[in-house]
Amino acid sequence: MALSPEKFIATWERRIAKGRTYFIIRFALLWGGAMIVFIPLFNIIFDGNFTLEAFINEFKTNDFYLKIIIFPLAGAILGYVNWNSGIKRYNQVIEKRDEVENNN
């Protein structure tokens, strides 16, 4: 469900106030952290070996250390793209709002 223009503007004004770096790092950590936890969890569930020991063992594999690097890096890239697309849309919404206000 899309936000109303007023809510969208308010949301992005808060994000802009906190800054691009904060947004990207937060996005990277949340997305990357979720992937680090949920991908091993889904692997275990779909393998049919859902035990706490199997879950812990997923974090002891060599590729886990690679995931610690790759997922937050991918999250940072996605955060950067998300920031840029959000700023572009924010500027479009502001421009459209200003046009409507100027016509009235």
pLDDT tens, position by position, 45-86: 888 877 888 888 888 878 888 888 999 999 999 999 999 999
pTM: 0.79
- What range does the domain containing 83 cover? 20-96
Give the pLDDT confidence of 1-54 residue by residue, as tens digits: 577 989 999 999 999 999 999 999 999 999 998 998 888 888 888 888 778 888
Tally Cβ neighbours within 10 Å of residue 15: 17
Tell whether 89 is covered by a domain: yes
- C-alpha distances (whole Å) from 34 to each of 53, 68, 70, 81 are 20, 11, 13, 18
Tell whether 86 is covered by a domain: yes
Helix axes 62-103, 20-47, angle to 10 degrees: 130
Tell whether 11 is covered by a domain: no
Tell whether 6 is covered by a domain: no
| Structural domain total, the chain | 1
The pLDDT value given to residue 72: 93
